[in-house]
Structure 1
Amino acid sequence: MESQLLQKLKYAEKLTTQEKHIVDFILNNPHIVFHSTAHELAQLTYTSSSTIVRLCKKLGTQGYPDFQLKLALEYQPSSTPFRSEDQLIAEQGNVLAAIESVPYLYEQALNETRRLLNPTVLQRIIDWVRESHRIDIYGNDMNYYLAQQACTKWNELGISAIAHNSPNLHYLNTMTPSQTTLSFVISHTGENLSMIDSATILSQKSMKVIAVTSNNHSTLSRQCTETLLTHGYYEQLRLSKMSTMVSVLYLFDILYMGSISDSY
């Protein structure tokens, strides 16, 4: 079954003559797109970079790097027992596409996360970090490893920070409520039951709890004192974790910089 992008290329309507020429060139030489810039593709098709970018947006992508990324992910060369020269080029093209696309994904995640930031809320949380004697960060799976990275940096500042891979109910239920203990709970969807349980217990103790999630109206967010919003690349589920990881690390690095400086 053809990919969505390939179908759009084949059956796109309301294209100019130049755009149709570019589409035909791409369909006949998809591997060239993987290792060509918009300017280089424009030269090969005797068009302009702006025409290339305009076509990419007509096809539902955000620009040329996004188009390269989607095409690289969806392109499947015909199977054959031997690798032809064209296939070797295509394989190299996929690598080159990844080299170009990963920085684009990182940049997109950072820009989108920055756009979602509320400076007033962020400053309030930074003040809490500075006042805290202990920081607890809760997260499952990948989020646990992100929590560990954040804790390592704060520990180097002399701030006691501990990452929790799952709710320690004994610890949560027996801990003495303290306004100098600050808790972060990470869940991209905001609907992870174990993270919600952790936030609920902490909130019942009237402690400061920050949700790190993509959904400001999630169950987790409603149980927390404040929310820091993350970004995910929803158009490709396989890339969502990569995008979310960059977003979460960016948020914690902002808080870390705020911990050591009045200007960040």
Structure 2
Amino acid sequence: MESKLLQKLKYASQLTAQEKHIVKYILSNPEVVFDSTAHELAQQTYTSSSTIVRLCKKLGTKGYPDFQLKLALEYQQIPSALQTQDHAIAEQGNVLAAIDSVPYLYQQALDDTRRMLNAPVLLRIASWVKESVRIDVYGSDMNYYLAQQACAKWNELGISAIAHNSPNMHYLNTMNPNSLTLSFVISHTGENQSMIEAAKVLSNKQMKVIAVTGNNHSTLSRHCDETLLAYGYNEQLRLSKMSSMVSVLYIFDMLYMSSISDTY
């Protein structure tokens, strides 16, 4: 599935100062795109038409008209509760708005996670799960509870799985490299120092380690054998925490489903 333009706008990187200003302007009121030509939008943002077109191409569209069309098609599918900056209506405690907005957020997270999946990597990790004698899942704060859920499901299948909310250095340093233990380390940014330290120790022991993170180029990923990309977490968007959780659970549930087929 094609990456959603609104998500590309929110998480776009390597933009110039002018392009960032345009993005901020559009996100504050996406409908301005539908009523403005490239020249008019340039005037409103104190930039140039060529800058507008260049930004559109950076976002994967052919130009401004193509950007307008794709944004319009996407925008009309978004529940009205989410058509304001930072999902303001949904965040103000409007439970009726949440009826539509929550499923949309879930589906958006699932679609983006599925799009980022690397099938050969997923198959390789599923094979490692089958070969392992024990599974360790590391995660701090909110990620620890996701680790617990993943481990609880594997334990129901008779697969030994333990969740860790911080690296136990005594346990890590005394692990037998031949113990066939498979480790997952969860960090949305990939820069959590305690999770990086756990991955370093495990990697130095030649243990198989998988990063579950929203950043494929993070420090954590560099110390792991493989990376499973989850929906990126943005601290400025409070509801992105919910989407990140759904994304991580989706990743572990796929591996759980693979385990079920071998157990029954």
TM-score by length of 2: 0.70
Question: 1:12 and 2:32 equivalent?
Answer: yes
SS of 1:238's partner is coil
Question: 2:238: which partner in 1?
Answer: 238
Question: 1:95 and 2:95 equivalent?
Answer: yes
Q: Aligned equivalents of 1:106 and 1:65: distance in 2? A: 12
Q: Aligned equivalents of 2:153 and 2:226: distance in 1? A: 22
How big is the alpha-carbon RMSD for the aligned residues of Structure 1 and Structure 2? Answer: 3.0
From the superposition, tell whether residues 218 and 156 of structure 1 become closer, same or farther in structure 2 (CA, over 3 Å): same
Amino acid in the other structure paired with 2:228: L
Which runs of 5 or more residues in structure 2 are unaligned?
A: 1-23, 37-67
Amino acid in the other structure paired with 1:69: L
- Runs of 4+ residues over 6 Å off in structure 1: 3-6
Q: Aligned equivalents of 1:235 and 1:169: distance in 2? A: 29
TM-score by length of 1: 0.70
TM-fit CA distance, 1:134: 0.2
Q: Aligned equivalents of 1:162 and 1:236: distance in 2? A: 32
Q: Aligned equivalents of 1:200 and 1:235: distance in 2? A: 26
Matches within 5 A, 1:1-264: 8=29, 12=32, 15=35, 57=71, 62-65=75-78, 68-71=81-84, 73-74=87-88, 94-178=94-178, 180-232=180-232, 234=234, 237-261=237-261
Q: Deviations over 1:55-114 (max 9, x none)?
A: 9936x97444265314384359xxxxxxxxxxxxx98xx322211011000001001100
CA contact (8 A) 2:81 2:89 kept: no
Q: Aligned equivalents of 2:211 and 2:234: distance in 1? A: 20
TM-fit CA distance, 1:4: 6.5
Q: Aligned equivalents of 2:103 and 2:115: distance in 1? A: 18
CA contact (8 A) 2:136 2:182 kept: yes
CA contact (8 A) 1:167 1:194 kept: yes
TM-fit CA distance, 1:199: 0.1
CA contact (8 A) 2:191 2:220 kept: yes
Amino acid in the other structure paired with 2:32: A
TM-fit CA distance, 1:14: 6.4
CA contact (8 A) 2:139 2:166 kept: yes
Q: Deviations over 1:129-151 (max 9, x none)?
A: 01111000000001000000000
Which runs of 5 or more residues in structure 1 are unaligned?
A: 17-53, 77-89
Q: Aligned equivalents of 2:231 and 2:240: distance in 1? A: 9
CA contact (8 A) 1:203 1:224 kept: yes
Percent sequence identity over aligned pairs: 66
Q: Deviations over 1:208-255 (max 9, x none)?
A: 000000111100000000000001364962011100000000000000
CA contact (8 A) 1:56 1:63 kept: no
TM-fit CA distance, 1:156: 0.8
- Aligned residue pair count: 206
SS of 1:107's partner is helix
